[in-house]
């Protein structure tokens, strides 16, 4: 994901803050839940703020300890081994932050699910050593985290804070100073050899990670029926479940994922046909059950999207989608016209839509849902799609009605 950089503090000021923080380590570890990081460059400890960020803390603890399952991005298997052990700090920006938690080590991926942001006025990016979730937009937290080495005011209300460094701050600083390539990846891997959780005190012991409405990951059995040119897969689907189908033509080869989508309204679809393109194919299903609706629908059939521009444009554009992959639109004060085409991709809590209009700039929008049929959007307008010449950013709010 892309971070906006804030380099207002000098390295010397940040290091002085680091030294001051180190003197607080003994006091900070009296009571609480602590994450102990053993790395290839030394050890450090963070305290988790499970009072002000209980859901995020519970998710992190579950991934660290294996108490909560996650989806292996290579095989699609639900796994419960310690998630972070052996991962690297894949992104380091000197004077800003250290980032880790990508299962591929390339800065992508996560546990196979998303959790919603969790903001508190008690948690702000004011100094060195803030532990927060990295994301790729609102409500897309998963496993990737970062630790700041300086104040980062832009992060407030944009990235979920759930802890801070309480010892080993010199190690965090040393990691931040390693040599990196053009993509901010350390030239020599900085490895999280082990991450462990310590609970100190009655309140810490009583904190239950299973009561935070986190997504539940399982593998489900598939019933397979075959015909001459198709395969039909049947399984027990559930409302608010995200289904990812993994397949391979060779059990020793690579498993590729195919999203089957999230049913946010009843009834659910239980049977999914697949084209038979190879002599043999093996399937595996990972299901991520969310506690409640993630709002973004599987498709836009029969719905109306109204986008109100706050930047990059003005007014409201209304698009009405039919049930055959087309639709109409209105750019006021012009009369209604037919869409050239559109595409929609569903993710938990958001959707991605590309809208092509005859005679108007194309819109490529990320719709971040905050309620059942509304939210905010960001994106790009392309006067000469797919060319980037003259492209400009847009943002605003939207409502999505119909079903």
Tokens of 145: 């985290």
Query: What pLDDT, on the 0 to 100 scale, is given for residue 68?
Result: 95
Q: Is the pLDDT at 96 greater than 80, yes or no?
A: yes
In the predicted model, is pLDDT for residue 3 greater than 50?
Answer: no
Convert the pLDDT of each residue in 371-403 to its tens digit: 889 999 999 999 999 999 999 999 999 999 997
pLDDT of 279 reads: 83
- Residues sharing a CB contact under 8 Å with residue 353, sequence separation 6 or more, in sequence order: 300, 305, 342, 343, 344, 345, 363, 364, 365, 367
Decide which of 3.40.50.970, 3.40.50.150, 2.60.40.10, 3.90.209.20 is the CATH code for 216-289. 2.60.40.10
Q: What are the two backbone dihedrals, phi and then psi, of residue 109, each rounded to the nearest 5 degrees?
A: 80, 175
Confidence of residue 28 (pLDDT cuts 50, 70, 90): very low
- Give the residue among 301, 299, 240, 308 at the shortest CA–CA distance from 268: 240
pLDDT of 222 strictly over 60: yes
Q: Which of the listed CATH numbers 3.40.640.10, 2.40.100.10, 3.20.20.70, 3.40.50.720 matches domain 11-211?
A: 2.40.100.10
Q: Computed from CA positions of residues 307, 141, 116, 257, in that sequence, does the dihedral angle turn out positive or negative?
A: positive
Q: What is the mean pLDDT of residues 138-159?
A: 97
Contact 137, 351 (CB under 8 A): no
Question: Which of 152, 177, 148 shows the shortest CA–CA distance to 5?
Answer: 152
Round to whole Å and give the CA distance between 209 and 48. Answer: 13
Could you give the percent of the chain with pLDDT greater than 90? 85
**pLDDT for res 10:** 46
- What is the pLDDT at residue 173? 98
Mean pLDDT (whole number) for 269-283: 89
Rounded to whole angstroms, the Cα distance separating 25 from 14 reads: 17
Tell me the pTM: 0.90
- Give the pLDDT mean for 183-201: 98
Of 165, 192, 145, the C-alpha closest to 41 is 192
The encoded tokens of residue 151 equal 């104040």
According to the model, what pLDDT value does residue 5 have?
34
CB 240 within 8 A of CB 114: no
Confidence tier at 259 by pLDDT (50, 70, 90)? very high
What's the confidence (pLDDT) of residue 229?
Answer: 85
Q: Is it the case that residue 9 has pLDDT exceeding 80?
A: no
Average pLDDT over residues 189-200: 98
Per-residue pLDDT for 254 more than 60?
Answer: yes
- Mean pLDDT for 57-85 is 97
The model's confidence at residue 16, banded by pLDDT at 50, 70 and 90, is very low
Looking at per-residue confidence, does 143 or 27 come out higher?
Answer: 143
Q: d(Cα 30, Cα 74) in Å, to the nearest integer?
A: 40
- How far is it, in rounded angstroms, from Cα 40 to Cα 87? 11
Q: How confident is the model at residue 29 (pLDDT cuts 50, 70, 90)?
A: low
């Amino acid at each position: 994901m892309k971070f906006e950089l804030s380099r207002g503090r000098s390295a010397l000021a940040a290091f002085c803050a680091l030294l001051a923080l180190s003197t607080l380590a003994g006091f900070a570890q009296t009571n609480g839940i602590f994450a102990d990081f053993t790395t290839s460059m030394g050890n450090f400890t963070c305290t988790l703020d499970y009072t002000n960020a209980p859901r995020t803390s519970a998710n992190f603890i579950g991934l660290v300890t294996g108490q909560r399952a996650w989806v292996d991005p290579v095989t699609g298997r639900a796994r419960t081994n310690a998630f972070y052990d052996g991962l690297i700090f894949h992104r380091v920006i000197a004077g800003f932050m250290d980032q880790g938690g990508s299962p591929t080590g390339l800065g992508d991926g996560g546990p196979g699910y998303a959790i919603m942001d969790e903001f508190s006025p008690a948690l702000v990016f004011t100094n060195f050593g803030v532990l927060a979730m990295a994301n790729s937009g609102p409500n897309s937290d998963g496993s990737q985290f970062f630790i700041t080495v300086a104040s980062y005011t832009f992060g407030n209300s944009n990235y979920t804070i759930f802890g801070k460094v309480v010892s080993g701050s010199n190690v965090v600083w040393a990691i931040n100073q390693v040599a990196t390539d053009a993509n901010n990846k350390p030239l020599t891997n900085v490895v999280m050899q082990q991450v462990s959780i310590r609970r100190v005190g009655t309140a810490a012991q009583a904190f239950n990670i299973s009561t935070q409405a986190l997504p539940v990951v399982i593998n489900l059995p598939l019933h397979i029926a075959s015909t001459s040119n198709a395969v039909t897969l049947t399984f027990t689907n559930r409302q608010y479940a995200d289904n990812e189908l993994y397949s391979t033509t060779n059990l020793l080869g690579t498993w590729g994922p195919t999203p089957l989508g999230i049913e946010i309204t009843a009834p659910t679809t239980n049977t999914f046909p697949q084209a038979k393109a190879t002599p043999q194919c093996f399937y595996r299903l990972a299901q991520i059950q969310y506690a409640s609706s993630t709002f973004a629908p599987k498709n836009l059939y029969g719905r109306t999207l109204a986008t109100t521009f706050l930047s990059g444009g003005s007014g409201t554009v209304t698009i009405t989608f039919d049930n055959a992959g087309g639709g109409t639109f209105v750019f006021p004060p012009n009369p209604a016209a037919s869409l050239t085409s559109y595409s929609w991709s569903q993710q938990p809590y958001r959707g991605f839509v590309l809208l092509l209009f005859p005679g108007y700039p194309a819109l490529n929008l990320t719709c971040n849902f905050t309620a059942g049929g509304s939210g905010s959007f960001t994106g790009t307008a392309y006067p000469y799609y797919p060319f980037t010449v003259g492209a400009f950013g847009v943002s605003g709010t939207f409502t999505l009605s119909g079903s």
